[in-house]
Amino acid sequence: MNKPLSMPARRDLRQRMIEDMSVRGFSAKTQHDYQRIVSRFAAFLGRSPDRATAEDIRRFQVEQREAGMPAPAMNSHVAALRFFFTTTIDRPDLSRKLIRASYPRKLPTVLSPDEVARLLAAATCIKHRAALSVAYGAGLRVAEVAALKTGDIDSERMLIRVERGKGGRYRNAMLSPDLLSLLRTWWLEGRRQGAMLPGGWLFPGQNPVKPISTRQLARVVEEAARAAGLTKRVSPHTLRHSFATHLLEDGVDIRVIQVLLGHAKLDNTALYTKVATRTVRTVTSPLDRIVGRRRSRTAGQPHSAAMSRAATTVATFGSPITAAAIGTARSARAQRRGLGLPSARPTCCRSAISTSSSPCQPRSPTWLGRTRPSSTICCSGRRPRR
């Protein structure tokens, strides 16, 4: 086990961690989150985090769970501390003591096309309406919308160029004619107001030199949802979920949707098959097929086997028998077998195969070598006449 760092090294611990993250290409947001988490862990210990023990890590995670911290937030702490212990201070034995919390993945909230239209119409500012339209019309993440520049709009190829999206990946997003018209309207208005600089941000903040913040876009969505009367919990990412779900319901191939969303794994895109209600409604249940075949068989001619038996009976007894009569006789025999009664048919005036028009006769057919009592109830439910 390595020895704890010396005092001068501990003073440079934060800078050393920043350098390690910069070498690995971590984004500014990730670096900020990791530093905040390690600082919180140091505050919990009351001393430098490089002097932590396995028991300290266990107590820290127990306190997080008892405080009600969500599982995703706990896993973020695990990732930051693992990087700190493994890379910065070279203590992989401590990183193995960190436990990731498992949790069920919830289905995303999706708006209907009518709800999306109401949400966009509720955004009265042309700038905000254009930003929300880009989030829905191109399926961009909120950080990708905020980072767009005017030069990223390719009107000739009808594409939106996304630079350094999630994971530092580049991709092209779709640009519809209606979205392009709205962006041109905003561009003219922004130039008139002096908020949009040449070659600057497509959606600048209060200071035109800086882009609009993701928190500001989140507040815009919340206010628009409240004005539109939506009861669902809506965020900027809800528009991205709705974009993917509506494309899937319209029959777009799921791999095309994966490319448009910039997903590295198809499993992430396949999640939208669980919320695409229009796609689910088009699937025919096996129960409907069975019931449909039974209805068509009942509406048409009887089954060939039943018809052949009916023809044989008619030829033998000279009396027509319908499929319903055959089914009734089968049901009666099954009931008698279940009650332990003999399976022989009683001679009845109402029987479909009876050749006599006289009332039920007190006949006593043999059954298993014994004589049945003459008081057997006939198929009409009445006792035979004596």
Domain containing 47 — which CATH number? 1.10.150
Question: pLDDT confidence of 371, banded at 50, 70, 90?
Answer: very low
- Verify that 34 and 175 share a domain, yes or no: no
- Verify that 207 and 85 share a domain, yes or no: no
pLDDT of residue 195: 85
Instruction: Calculate mean pLDDT across residues 86-100.
Output: 91
Distance CA 204, CA 195 (A): 7
- Verify that 177 and 262 share a domain, yes or no: yes
Phi-psi group of 139: left, alpha or beta (phi > 0 → left; psi -120 to 50 → alpha; rest → beta): left
Cβ distance 242 to 120 under 8 Å?
Answer: no
pTM for this model (two decimals): 0.62
CATH number of 175's domain: 1.10.443.10
- Verify that 157 and 260 share a domain, yes or no: yes
**139: which 2 tokens?**
């399926």
Q: Is residue 296 part of a domain?
A: no
Q: Where is average pLDDT lowest: 155-159, 180-184, 257-261, 266-270?
A: 266-270
**210: which 2 tokens?**
């800086």
What's the mean per-residue pLDDT of the chain?
A: 79
Q: Is residue 380 part of a domain?
A: no
Nearest to 124 by CA among 242, 240, 226, 205: 226
- Verify that 60 and 179 share a domain, yes or no: no
Q: Which residues are catalytic?
A: 141, 166, 237, 240, 263, 272
Q: Is residue 105 part of a domain?
A: no
pLDDT of residue 334: 58
The residue to which tokens 């809506």 are assigned: 234
Residue finishing a domain among 217, 249, 281: 281
- Verify that 140 and 275 share a domain, yes or no: yes
Cβ distance 243 to 139 under 8 Å?
Answer: yes
How many structural domains comprise the chain?
Answer: 3
Which residues, listed in sequence order, are joined to residue 153 by a DSSP beta bridge?
A: 160
Task: Identify each DSSP E strand in the chain by its residue range.
Answer: 153-154, 159-162, 171-174, 366-367, 370-371
- Verify that 18 and 54 share a domain, yes or no: yes
Distance CA 278, CA 161 (A): 30
Question: 27 burial class (0-12, 13-18, 19+ CB within 10 angstroms)?
Answer: middle
- Verify that 153 and 255 share a domain, yes or no: yes
Instruction: Calculate mean pLDDT across residues 39-63.
Output: 93
Distance CA 153, CA 199 (A): 11
pLDDT of residue 67: 92
Highest mean pLDDT pick, 166-175, 313-322, 362-371: 166-175
Q: Is residue 274 part of a domain?
A: yes
Q: Is residue 200 part of a domain?
A: yes
Longest dimension (CA), the chain: 118
Distance CA 252, CA 242 (A): 14
Determine the structural domain holding residue 309 and report its residue range. 303-371
Nearest to 41 by CA among 1, 12, 14, 70: 14
Q: Is residue 100 part of a domain?
A: no
Q: Is residue 286 part of a domain?
A: no
Q: Is residue 48 part of a domain?
A: yes
pLDDT of residue 279: 64
pLDDT of residue 379: 47
Distance CA 244, CA 239 (A): 9
**246: which 2 tokens?**
């509506």
Distance CA 374, CA 351 (A): 17
- Verify that 150 and 251 share a domain, yes or no: yes
Instruction: Calculate mean pLDDT across residues 125-144.
Output: 94
**225: which 2 tokens?**
């949802």
Residue finishing a domain among 68, 95, 122: 95
Distance CA 208, CA 206 (A): 6
Give me the helix-helix angle, 236-249 and 254-261, nearest 10°.
Answer: 160
Q: Where is average pLDDT lowest: 85-89, 244-248, 264-268, 293-297?
A: 293-297
- Verify that 271 and 328 share a domain, yes or no: no
Instruction: Calculate mean pLDDT across residues 126-153.
Output: 93
Distance CA 56, CA 62 (A): 10
Residue finishing a domain among 281, 316, 331: 281
- Verify that 131 and 234 share a domain, yes or no: yes
- Verify that 73 and 172 share a domain, yes or no: no
* CA 374 to each of CA 283, 339, 378: distance values in angstroms, whole numbers, following the listed order: 58, 19, 10
